[in-house]
Structure 1
Amino acid sequence: MLPVTGTYAGLLAFGFILLSARTIVARRRYGASLGTPHRMVERVVRAHGNFAEHVPLALILLALCEANGLVGWALHVLGITLLAARLAHAHGISREPELSAWRVFGTSLTLTVLGAAAAANLGVAAAVMAGR
């Protein structure tokens, strides 16, 4: 059972659905069924794509942390930070003109979560292997 990861996966799935809907609306508005011929279509497509590129690995790492016994408060810190990161990034990249500070902040937080979760997994794995 992975209730903490499940919570953040569910919340992030709603974010993915929202970004998907924004992409559909932009494609219809600008008549772009394929490709990104308009700058705003490109922005919403990249917000959606960037989410799809980063969130799965972060959730896998979070699930492994939870399965391997990382303390609950640390799991929640990772999950909340990931949520905030993806919201900030999508907010920054989806605007014209771009809100670069939000985009950079979101990217930095996302990479921090990935790095922290990777390090936590390595630490937990090393502790388990050392105990054998």
Structure 2
Amino acid sequence: MTTKIGLGIPMPMLAPATATWAVPFAAYYLFLQNRIVYHRLSNRKYLGDSLGEDRSAKDPLYVSTRAQLNFSENIPLALILTLLAELNGADRKYIHYALATLLALRVSHSELGLMRPGSQAPGRAIGYYGTEAVMLTLGGYLGYLVKDYWQFA
């Protein structure tokens, strides 16, 4: 697989599986970000992350902000892990499986967990623990891929 850059110079695609999944992750991040903007504009709360005195599951701006922050705390590391794995010979099928699962888990965490009344719906725990499992698996897989580098003669 190649792509053309600049003046049509062929360049090999280095990490197409990771790049493919970066698109829906970016789209979902924009959705999360725009939900915050909606709450800010509709409530005229232009700074801060809470509409009320307390920060609670009843405050839509605070919950929306936490959903976006939880996403942005996890996804960059996951994309770095998959990029490094793919550049070090990972089976792209595994990258696709991992990132598809991770996207579903992050949506579950926010939409079926945090955004539900009380912010304690099952999607929150499923998304959290599932994300931890995917990250651990990606880290382990990356370690496996580069294990020969660490063998001393």
Please tell me the TM-score bracket, short chain as reference: over 0.9
C-alpha displacement of 1:99: 4.3
Q: Give the match for residue 33 of structure 1.
A: 46
Distance in 2 (CA, whole Å) between partners of 1:27 and 1:89 is: 22
Which structure: larger Rg?
A: 2
- Please identify, of 88-97 and 113-122, the stretch whose mean Cα deviation from structure 2 is larger: 88-97
Q: Percent identity, aligned pairs only?
A: 29
Count of aligned pairs between the two proteins: 132
1:67 maps to 2:57 = no
The aligned amino acid for 1:36 is: D
Q: Give the match for residue 54 of structure 1.
A: 74
1:104 maps to 2:121 = no
Distance in 2 (CA, whole Å) between partners of 1:107 and 1:40 is: 20
CA deviation digits over 1:84-124, x for unaligned, max 9? 11111111112333243101111111111110110011111
1:77 maps to 2:97 = yes
Distance in 2 (CA, whole Å) between partners of 1:17 and 1:26 is: 14
Please state which structure has a larger fraction of its residues in strand.
2
Q: 1:100 to 1:127 in 2, by over 3 A?
A: farther
User: CA RMSD for the aligned pairs?
Assistant: 1.6
Q: Give the match for residue 5 of structure 2.
A: none
Gaps of 5+ in 1: none
TM-score by length of 2: 0.80
- Please identify, of 88-97 and 110-119, the stretch whose mean Cα deviation from structure 2 is larger: 88-97
Q: Give the match for residue 106 of structure 2.
A: 86
Distance in 1 (CA, whole Å) between partners of 2:121 and 2:62 is: 16
1:17 maps to 2:37 = no
Counterpart pick for 2:137 among 90, 113, 116: 116
The aligned amino acid for 1:7 is: T
Gaps of 5+ in 2: 1-13, 52-58
Distance in 1 (CA, whole Å) between partners of 2:44 and 2:116 is: 19
- Please identify, of 114-123 and 32-41, the stretch whose mean Cα deviation from structure 2 is larger: 32-41
TM-score by length of 1: 0.92
Distance in 1 (CA, whole Å) between partners of 2:63 and 2:131 is: 18
8 Å contact from structure 1 (residues 5, 59) kept in 2: yes
C-alpha displacement of 1:130: 4.0
